[in-house]
Amino acid sequence: MKLIRKMGVIGAIAAVCVSSAVWAAPKFINILTGGTSGVYYPLGVALSQIYGNHIEGAKTSVQATKASVENLNLLQAGRGELAFSIGDSVAAAWKGDEEAGFKKPLDKLRLLAAIYPNYIQIVANKDAGIKSLADLKGKRVSVGAPKSGTELNARAIFAAAGLTYDDLGKVEFLPYAESVELIKNRQLDATLQSSGLGMAALRDLAATMPVNFVPIPADVIAKTGNAAFQAGVIPAGTYDGQDTDVPTIAIQNLLVTTTAVSDDVAYQMTKLLFENLDYLGNAHAAAKAISLDKAANSPIPIHPGAERYYKEVGLLK
CATH number at residue 132: 3.40.190.10
Which pLDDT tens digit goes with each residue over 94-129?
A: 999 998 899 999 999 999 999 999 999 999 999 999
Query: Do 168 and 140 contact (CB within 8 A), yes or no?
Result: yes
Angle between helices 40-54 and 263-275 (to 10 degrees): 110
Q: What is the mean pLDDT of residues 253-276?
A: 98
For residues 266 and 246, state if they share a domain.
no
| Structural domains in the chain (count) | 2
For residues 203 and 94, state if they share a domain.
no
Query: Do 189 and 128 contact (CB within 8 A), yes or no?
Result: yes
Query: Do 41 and 33 contact (CB within 8 A), yes or no?
Result: yes
Query: What is the average pLDDT value for the chain, to the nearest integer?
Result: 91
pTM of the model: 0.84
Give ∠ CA 310-271-285 in degrees, rounded to 5: 105
Q: In the prediction, which pLDDT does 37 show?
A: 84
Confidence of residue 4 (pLDDT cuts 50, 70, 90): very low
Least Cα distance to 68 among 46, 93, 49, 47 occurs for 93
For residues 54 and 108, state if they share a domain.
yes
For residues 191 and 281, state if they share a domain.
no
Q: Please, which residues have CB within 8 angstroms of residue 5's CB and are 6 or more apart in sequence?
A: none
Q: In the prediction, which pLDDT does 186 show?
A: 96
Confidence of residue 25 (pLDDT cuts 50, 70, 90): low
Residue 242 has pLDDT above 80, yes or no: yes
Confidence of residue 142 (pLDDT cuts 50, 70, 90): very high
Q: Please, which residues have CB within 8 angstroms of residue 105's CB and are 6 or more apart in sequence?
A: 93, 94, 95, 96
Q: Residue 83 is part of which domain span?
A: 27-116+252-312
In a domain, 199, yes or no: yes
In a domain, 12, yes or no: no
Between residues 280 and 147, the one the model is more confident about: 280
Q: In the prediction, which pLDDT does 156 show?
A: 93
Domain endpoint, select from 202, 236, 251: 251
